[in-house]
Amino acid sequence: MESAFDKFLNRQDKLLKQYNQKYFDKQHNKGKLTARERIELLFDPDTFEELDAYTPPASVSFGKTSKAYGDGVITGFGMINGRQVYAFAQDFNVLGGSLGSGHAAKIIKVQDMALKTGSPIVGLIDSGGARIQEGVASLSGYANIFRRNVLSSGVIPQISAIMGPAAGGAVYSPALTDFIFMTKSTSYMFVTGPDVVKQVLNEDVTPEQLGGASVHGTKSGVADFVFNDDESTIQGIKMLLSFLPSNNIENPSYLKPEDAIDRIDESLRDIIPADPDKPYNIYEVIDSIVDDNKFFEIAGNHAQNIVTGFARMGGFVIGIVANQPQTLAGTLDIDSSVKAARFINICNSFNIPILTLEDVPGFLPGMDQEHAGIIKHGAKLLYAYTFSTVPKITVVLRKAYGGAFIVMNSKGIGGDFNFAWPSAEIAVMGPEGAIAILYRKELAEADDPVKLKKEFAAKYRDEIANPYIADEKGYVDEVIDPAHTRPKVIKVLKSLDKKSISLPRRKHGNIPL
């Protein structure tokens, strides 16, 4: 007769045998790792504790079932770079990683544990969505997962990586999390797939065209990160976690810097071109001032007129929002406003100070933008900056005109320390627009209007569009030597360490959606 302990061992043996060569080959042949391999790569060696490994799939009267233990998802917790993280990895080998009731219950359990213990949670998605044969039980499973995503929002970091299909319900849980990774060529996300598109619209489209990593990393902006393969995606997740605290009551970790705090960079004095309409590359400024020149960019291929990402300065984690003069002259449009607003919200949720590097001629004009609601979407950025209570520092490098000056963390909306380089142009509008309005009559009557326009523009820059009026009136705190930007920012960042402000009590704010 089988002893109690033998029974225990036999059960373990059965589970191990489930992960045979055929199991591995099925995923490897598609250029993907298995759920188990992904989990092993994600966690520090020998730290992962699996939960509910023996969950059986529900028995159903219609459609296929499976005999596999675990119901198509591996769940548990462990250490990532020494910090506790919960995770789940969907197993496409079991009923296409589809979400049945047992599968959902396992995810719900780790969501609850992550929230209870103040630990980040990572979801590795590879799923055909709601398990068709389990019907409404699958839908309810998703509903319960979505609810927990929302309850955890702003409390613990939630990270999703799409590493295969994410169809139907499988897209909405990631959409409710803080960051979405996608793996090039092997992942795609859509609410309704190519078959439905064909049936409803009679259009032929491939999964890649409809919702591949190239679409979501550039056009839609749904994906914050696109990596080449499973391995680099998982490395990316670990890097991202290194900038985040475990929850909203902790601060991000401090890392004693090897890079000198008082390092100056004289090349920054010449980085702004003499011609105010010429672009330069904002990445050169960012790389120059952050610790070890290391910048971890978020959504780097979407709305490239604004740059967002994490770095450290003097060892402190900082979120950077920077206009990029090389794309659309650094103007604010709908996509860049939404991208930056979301990033600011994440920084504020997780106690990450924000550094704004400003060079923005204004909002992008035109029918397209106005009709698509730039008023509402630009207001998101204004709202996010104003509402955030983390330390906020701005450096105006060049243009800071009109509404864009106000929106990009001006002192009036709550900037704590606002600096300007000598090249800053701070005014209601640029010289051309201002002169056309103020001197319309004079220009119309002039013998040489081009020459007169030039003269007015030079006078306007000299008298109005410079940093000194703002400095004298306190709208910026100091005009600084560009070479000293790094030590100056680190100094005030340290001084803001204990910043504390409270907002009026309310149920929640009403950000323009």
Binding site for ligand HXC (CB under 6 A): 64, 95-96, 98, 128-132, 139, 142, 165, 167-169, 172, 193
State the minimum distance, in angstroms, from the CB of residue 2 to ligand HXC. 32
| Residue number with CB closer to ligand HXC (18 or 242) | 18
Contact of 295 with 320, CB cutoff 8 Å: yes
From 70, 76, 164, 169, the catalytic residue: 169
Look up residue 242 and give its DSSP letter.
H
| Closest by CA position to 290, among listed 321, 314, 256, 264 | 314
| Residue number with CB closer to ligand HXC (160 or 349) | 160
Q: Is 43 helix (H, G, I), strand (E, B) or coil?
A: coil
State the minimum distance, in angstroms, from the CB of residue 170 to ligand HXC. 6
The strand pair at 49-51 and 73-80 is best described as antiparallel
Residue with tokens 């598609």: 30
Go through 162-183 and write b for each residue having 16 or more CB atoms within 10 A of its CB, e for each that does not.
bbbbbbbbbbbbbebbbbbbbb
| Residue number with CB closer to ligand HXC (139 or 452) | 139
State the minimum distance, in angstroms, from the CB of residue 222 to ligand HXC. 15
| Closest by CA position to 336, among listed 370, 307, 367 | 307
Distance, CA of 359 to CA of 367 (rounded, Å): 23
State the minimum distance, in angstroms, from the CB of residue 104 to ligand HXC. 11
Residues with Cβ within 8 Å of residue 488, at least 6 apart in sequence: 419, 478, 480
Residues with Cβ within 8 Å of residue 113, at least 6 apart in sequence: 77, 86, 119
Annotation marks residue 128 as catalytic: no
Annotation marks residue 474 as catalytic: no
From 68, 114, 400, 404, the catalytic residue: 404
| Residue number with CB closer to ligand HXC (67 or 278) | 67
Distance, CA of 38 to CA of 237 (rounded, Å): 12
| Residue number with CB closer to ligand HXC (79 or 191) | 191
Annotation marks residue 430 as catalytic: no
| Residue number with CB closer to ligand HXC (167 or 298) | 167
State the minimum distance, in angstroms, from the CB of residue 142 to ligand HXC. 5
Burial grade of 213 (CB within 10 A; 0-12, 13-18, 19 or more): buried
| Closest by CA position to 185, among listed 158, 159, 217 | 217
| Residue number with CB closer to ligand HXC (103 or 380) | 103
Distance, CA of 251 to CA of 253 (rounded, Å): 6
Question: Which H or E element spans position 33?
Answer: none
Burial grade of 384 (CB within 10 A; 0-12, 13-18, 19 or more): buried
- Both ends of the chain: CA-CA distance in Å? 66
| Residue number with CB closer to ligand HXC (78 or 97) | 97
Look up residue 79 and give its DSSP letter.
E
Annotation marks residue 82 as catalytic: no
161: left (phi over 0), alpha (psi -120 to 50) or beta: beta
| Closest by CA position to 296, among listed 279, 315, 268, 318 | 318
Q: What are phi and psi of 178, to 5 degrees?
A: -80, -35
State the minimum distance, in angstroms, from the CB of residue 310 to ligand HXC. 31
State the minimum distance, in angstroms, from the CB of residue 130 to ligand HXC. 3
| Residue number with CB closer to ligand HXC (18 or 327) | 18
State the minimum distance, in angstroms, from the CB of residue 147 to ligand HXC. 12
Contact of 391 with 360, CB cutoff 8 Å: no
State the minimum distance, in angstroms, from the CB of residue 163 to ligand HXC. 13
| Residue number with CB closer to ligand HXC (170 or 355) | 170
Residues with Cβ within 8 Å of residue 498, at least 6 apart in sequence: none
Return the half-sphere exposure (C-beta side, CA atoms, 13 A cut-off) of residue 398.
28
From 402, 403, 414, 433, the catalytic residue: 403
State the minimum distance, in angstroms, from the CB of residue 134 to ligand HXC. 8
What positions carry a catalytic annotation? 168-169, 403-404
